[in-house]
Structure 1
Amino acid sequence: MRASGTFSVTAFVPTELVPQPSVSTGVAVGVATIEKLFEGEVVGRASTLFTSAFDPAAGVGTYVAMESFEGALHGRNGAFNFAHSATTSGSDRTAEFFTIVPSSGTGELAGITGGGGMAVDADGTHRIWFDYEIA
């Protein structure tokens, strides 16, 4: 089953966390927490731990995120975790990964498994979809 929606970032808070021992590379690593709100067949909120190695001047980098979602898919209420990552060379998304964390579902979303994806439209609209099953 596929549930689609849009989301907005309501908070993006960089942290002072620096991996130790520190390693100097060509692109700095950053860590942030993010809060999101979702609308559509996916409705609710998420708290995200976001890490990235990104060069803002070149628009090149990779991110890895772990999200804790609370809300509903197609009206089924609960919570679950999902992880995703992608790489960009400036105007594309490659090496995408997106998975629902096994055994993380609660409530009516207990037993959820699957994957999904994200996209950003030319007008800046952020889209998300979950391709999921509930056992």
Structure 2
Amino acid sequence: MPGRRRPAASRSNALSQRSTTPATAPRTTNRCSAPVAMMRKVFTATVNGQSSTIFTAAFDQATGTGTYLALESFQAEIDGKSGCFVFGHSATTTGTDRLSPIFVIVPTSGTGELTGIAGTGELVVDPDGTHRLELDYQLPG
């Protein structure tokens, strides 16, 4: 199957964060901390599924500047095929932009009917704060 960019979530219910459980992280007075959180996300639209996410960021609230890193285990149905795969993503902002975004499906992480999935993607943040996951993927066969 050829690769294609697919929106994984609709604008109306793009990413629904069900719960966040913060983990303990060292705090300092010089804004040099990177707290860690665990999240569960639900995606609906052309790709349906849920992910378990580990998330960390270094962020300056005063200037809106920072960088985040996330790793997600995604249980999904794509093109009628079910399984799980892992993807990682990161980006930096200086408060008004999105710099150096990275998004990759972890090689060999696919299971079930998604075994062999490969590709990249993008986490798009709309002006209203809606998050949309777009995948550019290939499935064997």
Q: How does the TM-score come out when normalised to structure 2? A: 0.86
Which residue identity does 2:122 align to in structure 1? G
**Which ranges in structure 1 are unaligned for 5 or more consecutive residues?**
none
RMSD in angstroms over aligned alpha carbons? 1.7
Match of residue 87 from structure 1: 92
Q: Distance in 2 between matches of 1:34 and 1:91?
A: 25
SS in structure 2 of the partner of residue 12 of structure 1: strand
Match of residue 3 from structure 1: 6
Percent identity, please. Answer: 45
Q: Does residue 130 of structure 1 match 2:138? A: no
Report how many residues are paired.
Answer: 132
Match of residue 47 from structure 1: 52
Q: Distance in 2 between matches of 1:120 and 1:105?
A: 26
**Which ranges in structure 2 are unaligned for 5 or more consecutive residues?**
none
SS in structure 1 of the partner of residue 15 of structure 2: strand
1:37 Cα deviation from its structure 2 partner: 0.3
- Preserved contact between residue 25 and residue 33 of structure 2 (Cα < 8 Å): no
Q: Distance in 2 between matches of 1:94 and 1:24?
A: 26
- Preserved contact between residue 3 and residue 130 of structure 1 (Cα < 8 Å): yes
Match of residue 112 from structure 1: 117
* Structure 1 residues 23 and 35: alpha-carbon distance in aligned structure 2, compared to 1, 3 A threshold: same
- Preserved contact between residue 20 and residue 40 of structure 2 (Cα < 8 Å): yes
Q: Distance in 2 between matches of 1:77 and 1:85?
A: 26
Q: How does the TM-score come out when normalised to structure 1? A: 0.89
1:39-72, Cα deviation, whole Å (9 max, x unpaired): 1112110000101111122211000100000021
Q: Distance in 1 between matches of 2:5 and 2:120?
A: 10
Q: Does residue 16 of structure 1 match 2:24? A: yes
* Structure 1 residues 25 and 42: alpha-carbon distance in aligned structure 2, compared to 1, 3 A threshold: farther
1:133 Cα deviation from its structure 2 partner: 0.4
- Preserved contact between residue 3 and residue 73 of structure 1 (Cα < 8 Å): no
